[in-house]
């Protein structure tokens, strides 16, 4: 229990630039108080003490302004920042390392009792202030929900959804982070987004990634034409764009016709 509390405090200090000490976090962060009380409420809920669970949850709401249904499932190091007005529904599931700002609703759109009515947030999702995520769908790992967005459809891992109804403005361009230590962007913003050097480097990375994809497509096309895969793997990336050189690695059947079909 104390291990959990320690990692919750560490997570808050890591993710909130305003947190100056562990003591400040323990005494002044309603998000932490709400999560600790939710653990009590959730234990009661799982022990079939449903009324007591609801009652503890309502005490937590009275003290913190954060309403978490005792049936909701929260992962580790979940951080509810500020927290006032947050509502988390009964069948919501929140993965490890998610961050939720004030005024967020993880709500339902169906009245079917027993059904999965509320969203699932996978690991590392950031939900901006005032956002509403409504329905029993999944928001993929490391996705970002803009402040005041109204999300009614699944969000892919690593994507950014903004607006009402929310649209995906930035699809995932890279593999989501594997560990929490790989860096957290406070408030979900992309650091150095306007820095020209950063933009140039991102441009180069995008270019390299596009080229890699094209090379993969060329290799796949060559394989369809009967090229020897081992020979192709030995060819370096630059050589792959030279169609004639590539065709010499083909299984003794390099012809003008194949070159022409590749060029098409
Ligand atoms: C959505 C968010 C995560 C995107 O941050 P980012 O990755 O840095 O992306 P950008 O700021 O470059 O924005 C990308 C696009 O989305 C738009 N956008 C960003 N946030 C938006 C929002 N909340 N609502 C509507 N559009 C938004 C931008 O205008 C931009 O559009 P453009 O490409 O047409 O110019 C961030 O803006 C956000 O809302 N974070 C939550 C912050 C928060 O709740 N803070 C509370 C602290 S108490």
Mutation pick for ligand 1 pocket among 188, 191, 193, 202 (CB with most ligand atoms within 8 Å) = 188
**Alpha carbon of 108 to ligand 1 centroid (Å):** 24
What pLDDT does 30 receive? 98
The rounded Å distance from CA 189 to ligand 1 centre is 7
Tokens of 240: 């792959």
Contacts 24+ apart (CB under 8 A), 168-173: 172/140, 172/142, 172/143, 173/206, 173/209
Return d(Cα 85, Cα 87) in angstroms, integer.
6
What digits encode the pLDDT tens for the residues 227-254? Answer: 776 655 555 555 545 555 555 544 444 4
Ligand 1 pocket residue status of 148, Cβ below 6 Å: yes
The β-bridge relationship of strands 120-121 and 67-68 is unpaired
Ligand 1 pocket residue status of 137, Cβ below 6 Å? no
Q: State the pTM of this model.
A: 0.73
Determine the Cα angle at 120 with ends 114 and 126, to 5°: 150
| Ligand 1 within 6 A of CB of 158 | no
Ligand 1 touching residue 241 (CB < 6 A): no
**Segments in the chain below pLDDT 70:** 172-183, 190-195, 198, 229-264
Q: CB neighbours (10 Å) of residue 101?
A: 24
């Amino acid at each position: 229990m104390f291990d959990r509390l320690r990692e919750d405090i560490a997570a808050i200090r890591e993710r909130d630039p305003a947190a100056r000490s562990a003591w400040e976090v323990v005494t002044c962060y309603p998000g932490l108080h709400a999560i600790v009380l939710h653990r009590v409420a959730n234990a009661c809920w799982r022990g079939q003490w449903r009324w007591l669970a609801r009652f503890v949850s309502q005490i937590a709401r009275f003290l913190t302004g954060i309403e978490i249904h005792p049936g909701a499932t929260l992962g580790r190091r979940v951080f509810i920042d500020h927290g006032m007005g947050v509502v988390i529904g009964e069948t919501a599931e929140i993965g490890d390392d998610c961050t939720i700002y004030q005024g967020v609703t993880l709500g339902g759109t169906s009245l079917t009792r027993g059904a999965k009515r509320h969203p699932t947030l996978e690991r590392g999702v950031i939900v901006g202030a005032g956002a509403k995520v409504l329905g029993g769908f999944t928001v993929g790992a490391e996705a970002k929900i803009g402040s005041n967005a109204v999300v009614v459809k699944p969000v892919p891992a690593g994507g950014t959804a903004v607006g009402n109804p929310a649209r995906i403005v930035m699809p995932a361009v890279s593999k989501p982070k594997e560990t929490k230590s790989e860096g957290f962007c406070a408030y979900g913003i992309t650091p150095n987004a306007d820095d020209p050097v950063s933009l140039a480097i991102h441009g180069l990375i995008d270019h390299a990634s596009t080229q890699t994809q094209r090379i993969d497509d060329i290799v796949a096309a060559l394989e369809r034409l009967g090229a020897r895969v081992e020979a192709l793997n030995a060819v370096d990336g630059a050589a792959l764009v030279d169609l004639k050189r590539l065709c010499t690695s083909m299984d003794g059947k390099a012809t003008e016709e194949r070159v022409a079909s590749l060029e098409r």
